Chains A and B, each alone.
Chain A
């Protein structure tokens, strides 16, 4: 009887000793399906093209534009200062380093809003915060900022104010030289902005 207790004591002791050498497994953060559904249904993730244009003109340092289209399309045309994270590289550490940085607002865009929306849901699932989707994507950008249409005479005054802003923005973004310089500068900035976020990518132990 007594010998059994010695054995049991030893077993329990070594089991407890073992806990000193194991590490807690870091489970990557993710949100529950219910929460995800709720957030997906919220329209608050959308920002208008006007808002994006305004922030760009103001050179808002907390704004990061992310182009989720394939690299080939990105190279043809993109927004000023935008970085390219194709949706299929969203799960790589390099791709994820752009998201969830404190103080940064990330606006995702694609040709329409669909691809950007998909990227947004993925990021949400991984519990990254402060991500937005540009409403209507680049198509909307073309329609509103690059080729703004004059509102009909009956439109309210705010529509005309918006039109004035869009025309100014149109000049800003299509002005010869400026846009080119802005774009090449943006590509350099990409490297500069790339901050490693170690915790997120490091799964397991």
Chain B
């Protein structure tokens, strides 16, 4: 039966209203989990706060596993959901740039917006930077167009790329994530002993 909107089971207006509510839940969870603090986010890369790793990977594995079950129970037609297209060179470059941007700025787009509304000026500067960065890209697009579209692999999933069943990917990711949760908890404990002035 699902997804509802692509199958015309709900109308466009409802879909937009639902988008608003889904966004609200997402923003609420981002803020409530502590993503509205750049120090919390950057902490994952210095070992003193792994909240990002926990929330992010829990969400990924819950969604991965849940998706397979939804498909199995016949509630969701997995062939109709949106799969991110893959453009190898530009996505690798983009991800590297984003990674560097994240460690310098301390936010990612979603978290910066939720931080702006609770009054963080650094997040506001980050958000302005996002706007400028995208403007820069848009203005430079004629020069980047070729690179932007290079190496197109289509809307490809891990299963289509490797031939390994989606269940194995979900299981593998879950095991890695669960292991990571335990390991990072130990690291965090050790690192926090050395940091005095940051209250958690």
Q: A and B from one assembly?
A: yes
Give complex CA distance A22, B72 in Å.
Answer: 7
Contacts of A33 in B (CB 8 A): 8
Partner of B166, one of A19, A21, A32: A19
Give complex CA distance A28, B181 in Å.
Answer: 40
B133 an interface residue at 8 Å Cβ cutoff? no
Count A-B pairs with CB separation below 8 Å: 55
Stretch at the interface among B42-50, B73-81, B192-200: B73-81
Residue pair A25, B71 in contact (C-beta under 8 Å): yes
B168 an interface residue at 8 Å Cβ cutoff? yes
Query: Closest chain B residue to A24 by CB distance?
Result: B71
Residue pair B78, A19 in contact (C-beta under 8 Å): no
- Given the interface pairs A9-B178, A27-B79, A33-B8, the reply to whether A16 lies near B72 with Cβ below 8 Å is no
Contacts of A21 in B (CB 8 A): 167
Residue pair B171, A23 in contact (C-beta under 8 Å): no
Interface residues of A, count at CB 8 A: 18
Residue pair B174, A25 in contact (C-beta under 8 Å): no
Stretch at the interface among B61-69, B90-98, B113-121, B147-155: B61-69
A200 smallest CB distance to B (angstroms): 15
A interface residues (Cβ-Cβ under 8 A, vs B) = 9, 12-13, 15-25, 27, 32-33, 205
- Give 26 pairs: A residue, B residue, CB < 8 Å, sorted on A: A9-B178, A9-B182, A12-B174, A12-B178, A13-B174, A13-B175, A15-B65, A16-B61, A16-B65, A16-B171, A16-B173, A17-B171, A19-B65, A19-B69, A19-B166, A19-B167, A19-B170, A20-B171, A21-B167, A22-B68, A22-B69, A22-B167, A24-B72, A24-B166, A27-B79, A205-B72
